Structure 1
Amino acid sequence: MFKFRHFSIQQDLCAMKVGTDGVLLGAWANGGDVILDVGTGTGLIALMMAQRFPKSQLTALDIDEGAVKQALQNVINAGCQQRVAVLQEQVQQHQGLYDSVVSNPPYFVDSLKAPNAQRNMARHVDTLPYAELMQAAWRLLKSDGELSLVVPFDYRKRMEDEATFVGFFPSRVCAVKTVENKPARRFLLAFRKHPCPVERKEMTIGDDCYRQLTKDFYL
């Protein structure tokens, strides 16, 4: 179990455990009245968004049965079942219209797969190619909505290219360093349907900016 300030995350049924990427995205993404979390896993990001935007209604999707059971358990334990719906469904088939779509997507494209099929599903893009994620996000977002993602540094360009191809424009970029004076290891990316000034920021894990961003969650 991973304990946060206002909820706890059980993760024994889920392939992908609580990690820095999910915490960063859940603390950084913009919200709205209706929010969609794609590939919810344990439900961490959905619960973080529910905490940050207390009047919002959220839908959390995952295709893995174990993840859906885990996320639902965590949502119920947090007392958020009236606001967070957990569904076992592919985003490609999902219907709705959202102010905010968030995703910590699978990111291994060409690397060798592990023996654990559930972990492969969570980590490899076979089940959710970037192009299909972008197409689904475009269809599901309101005209003034925002898509927010977290990706490893070496997949940033691929993700941005797919976003541009479907018509998205970058709205926010945050480079996240693991160690100061080293290149960023991950990026928080946000996209909108219309051109806008791009907000660019940088942070290092553990610095003042990081602590300010995550202070309402970590014990």
Structure 2
Amino acid sequence: MSNIFKFKDFEVRQSQSSMKIGTDAVLLGAWTKIPETVQSILDVGAGTGILALQMAQRSFAETIDAVEIDPDAFEECVDNFENSPWGDRLYCYHSDFHSFAEEMEETYDLIISNPPFFEVSKNLSTKGRSTARSQTDLNFETLVLGVNHLLHQEGNLSVIVPYVASEGFIKIAAKFDLYPNQILNVRGHSSSPLKRSLINFRRNKEETIIQNELVIELERHVYTRDYIDLVKDFYLKM
């Protein structure tokens, strides 16, 4: 795998980060709704900084912050921000999210996260990868607790989680009066099971939740029109 992932408007170096660029993050960064009123965005668990970079490309938000606990990923995220066209709007904090949320006094109009989604596995080869992909350092409840403190009253939380975990995440969010208003369920092929759920939360509970489904591929490396339309502003070959 290349140490540099090239998108249409920016590049992401990923030699130091435990988690490399994947479909989940790009999908979330492309799907997340960004109201015109949004002036501040936070990316929780930034990794390489891909989500924050997508937010910078898609918005005019003056403040786009990120928080990352892993020191190697943090350094690489900072480099990716500085080498992007939007370096003056991007900033990464080196911290665990619990401490960051307790210390930060400002609120954000939009918080976005591709959170850890499974418990530590013996098959994971490095501690960094374990941290990035497990719920040891940032479980769903810790994430939502911090979001509750940092999210503006009229703000949005946008996440991607495994489909099988989506109901549990929604229940946790409801404990903090955060409710889904849009959900996109994703499957790899039309005949494969649902794999991911992209969910947008707000503080006001709405009567109707907008739910849609996305199929990524018709066959191996042959993508559906819906998927292409969603991510074409980022991938070079779409």
The TM-score range, normalised by the shorter chain, is: over 0.9
Q: 2:154 aligns with which of 144, 155, 165?
A: 144
Farther-moved stretch of structure 1 (181-190 vs 19-28): 181-190
Q: Secondary structure at the match of 1:150?
A: strand
Rounded to whole Å, the distance in 1 between the matches of 2:61 and 2:162 is 31
Q: Which residue of 2 aligns with 1:71?
A: 77
Q: Give % identity.
A: 34
Looking at both structures, which has the greater relative contact order when contacts are Cα pairs under 8 Å and sequence separation is at least 6?
Answer: 1
Distance in 2, matches of 1:36 and 1:152, equals 21
1:29 counterpart residue number: 32
TM-score (norm 2): 0.88
Q: 1:77 to 1:19 in 2, by over 3 A?
A: same
Change (3 A) 1:65 1:110: closer
Contact map agreement 1:30 1:100 (CA 8 A) in 2:
no
Following superposition, the deviation at residue 163 of structure 1 comes to: 0.9
Match of 1:8 in 2: 11
The whole-number CA distance in structure 2 between the counterparts of 1:111 and 1:154 is: 18
Q: Structure 1's 113 and 157: CA in aligned 2 closer, same or farther, altered over 3 A?
A: farther
Which amino acid in 1 is paired with 2:98? Q
Q: Shift of the alpha carbon at 1:155?
A: 1.7
Q: Secondary structure at the match of 2:190?
A: coil
Moved more, 129-138 or 89-98: 89-98
> Which residue is 1:182 aligned to?
192
Aligned equivalents of 1:157, 1:55: Cα separation in 2: 31
TM superposition shift of 1:56? 3.6
What residue is the counterpart of 1:90 in the other structure? 96
Separation in 1, partners of 2:142, 2:177 = 13
Contact 2:39 2:60 (8 Å CA) reproduced: no
Stretches of structure 2 lacking an aligned partner (at least 5 in a row): 217-222
The answer to which of 49-58 and 116-125 deviates more is 49-58
Tell me the CA shift for residue 181 of structure 1. Answer: 2.9
With normalisation by structure 1, the TM-score equals 0.95
Could you say what secondary structure the match of 2:185 adopts? strand
Partner of 1:43: 49
Contact 2:11 2:84 (8 Å CA) reproduced:
yes
Matches within 5 A, 1:161-176: 161-176=171-186
Q: Which moved more, 1:91-100 or 1:105-114?
A: 105-114
2:45–2:114 contact (8 Å) kept in structure 1:
yes
Structure 2 residue matching 1:106: 3-state secondary structure: coil
- Structure 1: unaligned runs, 5 residues or longer: none
The AA in structure 2 aligned to 1:204 is V
Q: Distance in 2 between matches of 1:182 and 1:139?
A: 38
Match of residue 201, structure 1, among 207, 212, 220: 212
Q: What CA RMSD, in Å, does the superposition of the two structures yield over aligned residues?
A: 1.3
Q: Distance in 2 between matches of 1:147 and 1:175?
A: 17
Please report how far the alpha carbon of residue 122 of structure 1 lies from its aligned counterpart in structure 2 after TM superposition. Answer: 0.3
Letter in 1 for 2:41: I
